[in-house]
Amino acid sequence: MTWRHSYSAAIVMFASAIETDMRRSFALVYNARAGIALPRRLDGVVGHLREYGCDVFQLAARTAAEATDRVAEAAARGICDAVIAAGGDGTFRAVAAGAAGTHLPVGLIPLGTGNVLAHEVAMSKNVRTIANVLVRGPVIGAQAGLVNGAPFFLMVGAGFDARVVAGLDYASKRAFGRAAYMMPVLRTLRRGPERFDVSVDGEAYQASWVIVTRASHFGGSFKLTRDTCVGVDHLIAVVIDARTRLELIVAALALPLGRLLDSATRPSFVRTMTARKVEIGRLSGAAVEVDGDVAGSTPVVITSEGPVVRLIVPERYVADVSNRHANHVHS
């Protein structure tokens, strides 16, 4: 598929995306373990929805797999106008996996620690604004990628960041939020890089950290790339071949400093490229995380052609995604 073909398809999608009628019935999937508990935000949004005359009911689920099944069932039965993922990026993945490929839109109440998706679509923290987006916000098509056949909607990480996530204490994460990552980051840096093999569209590389992403953000508010965003139909692979502890520290600092965004400031051992198929760890093992959650280890095969979820976003984000498509057509 060419960029021009993708852009033309996107124009059709966005031309029919704006919802003019209020959504009045919402199924809610709430992850009470997501990051720092923010019950007031959840209660505030639900309160405003009910002030607007909306019906909000919970889909009880004990696991991510159960949440996916419950959402798929709700979509098949047509029992609501939209489903809300109240939690972090892992909660959204579980909900979106159930709704993907159906007409059921998915909205977001960000309650997690990193909330990459909330930063990606510029979702406000104001409860009334969130409620207004859920009721009247436009819908875009956000295509998933596939990792070993399972959908993901933000990113897959292998190596350094996955080792950090694997070393995270979730009780600390719930109590301290992003500060809880400090100790696992320091421990992982102390151990130094662990290199593994990676193939991007048939080209072979070595790496100690790989991020395959549909999102422009990483770890919350950090900007990783300008070359994609949620709602744009291609993947970006960031391949980091840090061979020493110092180079790994340089890469870890380059991300929050925004130095990975441009080739002029990117460390020489970092490559950024578009990707359709990425294979990681066929010969040597590496830890893996998917949308911020521990996901075992390699080998993994990541492809760009996953199902599409209908995502409710703030209106200004539609213009942002359209601009991203236009920039690729003319680049």
Contact call for residues 94 and 68 (beta carbons, < 8 A) = yes
Instruction: Determine which of 17-21, 80-84, 170-174, 308-312 has the lowest per-residue pLDDT on average.
Output: 17-21
Both structure tokens of 24: 């009045």
**179-213 per-position pLDDT tens digit:** 778 888 899 999 999 999 999 999 999 999 999 99
Contacts for 239 with CB less than 8 Å, ≥ 6 apart: 198, 200, 205, 207, 210, 270, 271, 272, 273
3-class secondary-structure state, position 34: coil
Contact call for residues 124 and 258 (beta carbons, < 8 A) = no
As a whole number, mean pLDDT of residues 100-108 equals: 97
Choose the CATH number for 150-303 among 3.40.640.10, 2.60.200.40, 3.30.460.90, 1.25.40.10: 2.60.200.40
| Topology adopted by domain 3-143+307-330 | Rossmann fold (3.40.50)
Instruction: Determine which of 16-30, 44-58, 178-192, 302-316 has the lowest per-residue pLDDT on average.
Output: 16-30
> How is the chain split into domains, by residue range?
3-143+307-330, 150-303
Which residue's entry shows tokens 């109440």? 109
pLDDT for 62 equals 87
The rounded distance, in Å, linking the Cα atoms of 274 and 322 is: 18
Instruction: Calculate the alpha carbon distances from 123 to 59, 258, 316 in Å.
Output: 23, 21, 10
Judged on CB neighbours under 10 Å (0-12, 13-18, 19+), 34 is buried
- Written as one letter, the residue type at 267 is P
